[in-house]
């Protein structure tokens, strides 16, 4: 669902999906840092590596959004 909404022509909807994945990335990054420091004691707080599995799908969509955003901003300067 979030991949489809990231492709939405409605920026508000797309940005909510991007924010969702950004939050997931941040959480998994923090868990990874804690794991490297051997500070994870709660087994329920282990990373499930959702982002790692979705990277092949996330990156192309994010790049498309970035280039589309840049193209529309370029028109403003004419």
Return the percentage of the chain with pLDDT > 70, whole number.
79
Segments forming the whole domain that contains residue 43: 2-76
Neighbouring residues of 29: CB distance < 8 A, sequence distance ≥ 6? none
Q: Are residues 24 and 50 in contact, defined by beta-carbon separation less than 8 angstroms?
A: yes
For residue 63, count other CB atoms closer than 10 A to its CB. 10
For residue 72, count other CB atoms closer than 10 A to its CB. 10
Q: Residue 20 — pLDDT band, cuts 50, 70, 90? A: very high
Domain count, the chain: 1
Is a pLDDT exceeding 90 seen at residue 1? no
27-60 per-position pLDDT tens digit: 999 988 888 887 766 666 778 889 999 999 999 9
Q: Are residues 61 and 7 in contact, defined by beta-carbon separation less than 8 angstroms?
A: yes
At 5, list the tokens: 């909404």
């Amino acid at each position: 669902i979030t991949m489809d909404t990231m492709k939405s022509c409605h920026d508000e909807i797309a940005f909510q999906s991007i924010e969702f994945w950004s939050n997931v990335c941040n959480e998994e990054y923090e868990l990874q840092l804690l794991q490297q420091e051997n500070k994870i004691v709660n087994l329920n707080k282990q990373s499930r590596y959702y982002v790692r599995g979705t990277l092949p799908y996330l990156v192309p969509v994010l790049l498309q959004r970035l280039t589309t955003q840049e193209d529309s901003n370029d028109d403003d300067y004419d």
